[in-house]
Amino acid sequence: MQIYRLLEQKKAAIIERWCDLVIDTYPAEARDFFKQKKNRFSNPVGAQLHSQTAACLDLFLAEAPDEEAAACLKEVIQIRSVQEFSPAQAVGFVLYLKQAVRELLAGEIRTHALFIELLTVESRIDRLQLCAFDSYSRSRDKMHEIRTDELRRRSFMAMKRMTLFEDSEDTQEDT
C-alpha cells in the first residue's frame, strides 16, 4: 500500500510527534525531562518511551502481526499502569498514533486520495490498542500478585514452620 511507503518516509517525524503527544499527558513541568532520551538509567520513562514507540512503528510498518508490534509497547504500558493515570489514560496513548499519522500525512492523503488505506492503518492501530489493554490488565494483575507475595515473604518463618508441622502430621498419618 502506498500509505506504508509514505509512513516509512516520515517515520522519524511520526515517532517524534507520537512521543510528544504521550509526553503531553504528564504535568507540564516534567515534559522537558521526559523528552530527553539519552540515558536509559537517569531517565527510564523517556528512554523507554522513545525506543519502544520506535520499535513498535518499525514492526507496524513492516506489517508484522499486530500482537508483535503491540508487544513492543508492553513496558511503556507497564510504566503507565503504576503512574497516576486512569486505565483509559494509561493505555489510550496508543490512539495518539492515529493523530500523529493524520497530522503528518494530511496533505499526501488528500492529494493521493488515500482514505481507504488510512482506514486500514487506523483499524490496525485499533488492534494495537486492544492488545495494549491486555498488557495493562496483565501488569495490574502482576502488581496485585506482588502484593500478596510480599505478605507471604514477610511471614516466611511462620509459614515454614507451619509447613514443617503439616509435613510431620502427614508423616505420622503415613506411619
By CB under 8 A, name the binding residues for another protein. 12, 16, 20, 26-30, 32-37, 39-45, 48, 78-79, 82-84, 142-143, 145-147, 149-151, 153-158, 161
Rounded least distance, CB 135 to another protein, Å: 13
Measured CA to CA, the distance from residue 36 to residue 45 in angstroms comes to: 10
* Other CB atoms within 10 A of residue 165 CB: 10
Between 10 and 37, CB nearer to another protein: 37
Between 15 and 132, CB nearer to another protein: 15
Coil vs helix vs strand at 16: helix
Rounded least distance, CB 164 to another protein, Å: 9
Q: Is the dihedral of CA 146, 84, 25, 32 positive or negative?
A: negative
Between 66 and 139, CB nearer to another protein: 139
Spatial contact of 74 and 132, defined as CB atoms under 8 Å apart: no
